[in-house]
Structure 1
Amino acid sequence: MGAGVAVLKDEAILLIRRRDNSLWDVPGGGLESGETPEAAARRELAEETGLSVGVLRPLAVFQHPHTYPDGNRVDWETHFFTADDSGDEVKAGDDAREARWWLRKALPQNVSDATQHYFTMLGQFMPLSAED
C-alpha cells in the first residue's frame, strides 16, 4: 500500500524525478509498519522535498500496477491526497534526484504509472492542460 500527495501552487504542481528510473512522480511511497496513509504521505513528502504541509485533502484510493527498478511488477493500492504549497523551499532528497514545479498546462510526459493515475484523478477536479 502506498500514499502520494500532489502539492499545488497557483497553476503548478510539485513533481520529483526519481533516482532509480528518472521518471517524474508525485511525492509518495510505501507505508511503513503501523503507519496510516496520511502519515506516510506527509513523511514521504518531507523526505523527498523537504516540505511540510498543512491540511491533506483525500482525493482518491485506487489500484494500479507498480513496477520496481528490478522489474518486479505488483498490484498496488494508493491513497492520493492534495495539499496547498506551504511556501517552504523545495529541496530534493531521499530517492528524489530533482524536485520542481510544473505548470499544469505543461506537464512532463515521462511519468510513473501512479502519477499518470494522479493526473487523471486531478483532471476530474481541476484543469490540467490548456485544452481542459
Structure 2
Amino acid sequence: MGAGVVVCRPGELGAQEVLLVRRRSDGLWDVPGGGRAWWEWNALAARRELRQGTGLRVGRLGRLGVWGGPLQRQLSPDGETVDWTRHVFVAAYQGGQPVAREDAAEVAWWPLDALPAEVSPATAGYFRALRARGQPT
C-alpha cells in the first residue's frame, strides 16, 4: 500500500506544471510518494512521503484516485518487483525549493502538457485523471 502527491503550480504563460521525481530504482519519473505504514492515514502518508522525498510541504490535499494491480508494478530499492495499491492526492504548490532526497535521484517541474516519456503506465494514468479533473484544488 502506498500514497503519493501530484503537486501543481502555474508555470510560464499560465501552463500548469507538476513536480516529478526520478526514482533511483528504475530511472522512471513519478509523483513524489512511497509506502504507507499499516497505521497511517493515506493522506498523512502522502504528506510524509512528499516531505521525505523532496523537502516540500503542502496545504490541502484533494483525492485524485486509487490505482492498483499490474499497472502499479515497480522495482523496489532492494530489487524485488512489487505490485502496489496507491492512493494519489493532488495539492497546490505553496513555495519552497524541492530537493531530491532518499530514493529520488532527481526532482524537476514539468509542464502538464509536456511530460517526460520515461513514466510508468500507472503514472501516465495519474496525469490522465488530473487532466480530466482540471484545476488541482
- TM beyond 0.5: yes
1:61 Cα deviation after fit: 1.6
Structure 2 counterparts to residues 107-122 of structure 1, below 5 A: 107-122=115-130
Q: Deviations over 1:36-56 (max 9, x none)?
A: 110110011001110000001
CA distance in 2, matches of 1:73, 1:35: 20
Indicate how the Cα distance of structure 1 residues 60 and 102 shifts in structure 2: closer, same or farther if over 3 A, else same.
same
SS in 2 for 1:114: helix
CA distance in 2, matches of 1:38, 1:100: 22
SS in 1 for 2:133: coil
CA distance in 2, matches of 1:123, 1:64: 22
**1:126 aligned to 107, 110, 134, which one?**
134
Percent identity (aligned): 44
CA distance in 2, matches of 1:111, 1:19: 13
Aligned to 1:87: 95
Count of residue pairs the alignment pairs up: 126
Q: Does 1:100 align with 2:121?
A: no
Indicate how the Cα distance of structure 1 residues 64 and 124 shifts in structure 2: closer, same or farther if over 3 A, else same.
farther
1:72 Cα deviation after fit: 2.2
Q: Does 1:68 align with 2:75?
A: yes
Aligned to 1:130: none
1:71 Cα deviation after fit: 5.1
* TM-score computed with the length of structure 1 as normaliser: 0.88
CA distance in 1, matches of 2:35, 2:121: 15
The one-letter code sitting in structure 2 at the alignment partner of 1:40 is: A
Structure 2 counterparts to residues 1-16 of structure 1, below 5 A: 1-10=1-10, 11-16=16-21
CA contact (8 A) 1:64 1:113 kept: no
CA contact (8 A) 2:24 2:103 kept: yes
Q: CA RMSD in A?
A: 1.6
Q: Identify unmatched segments of 5+ residues in structure 1.
A: 128-132
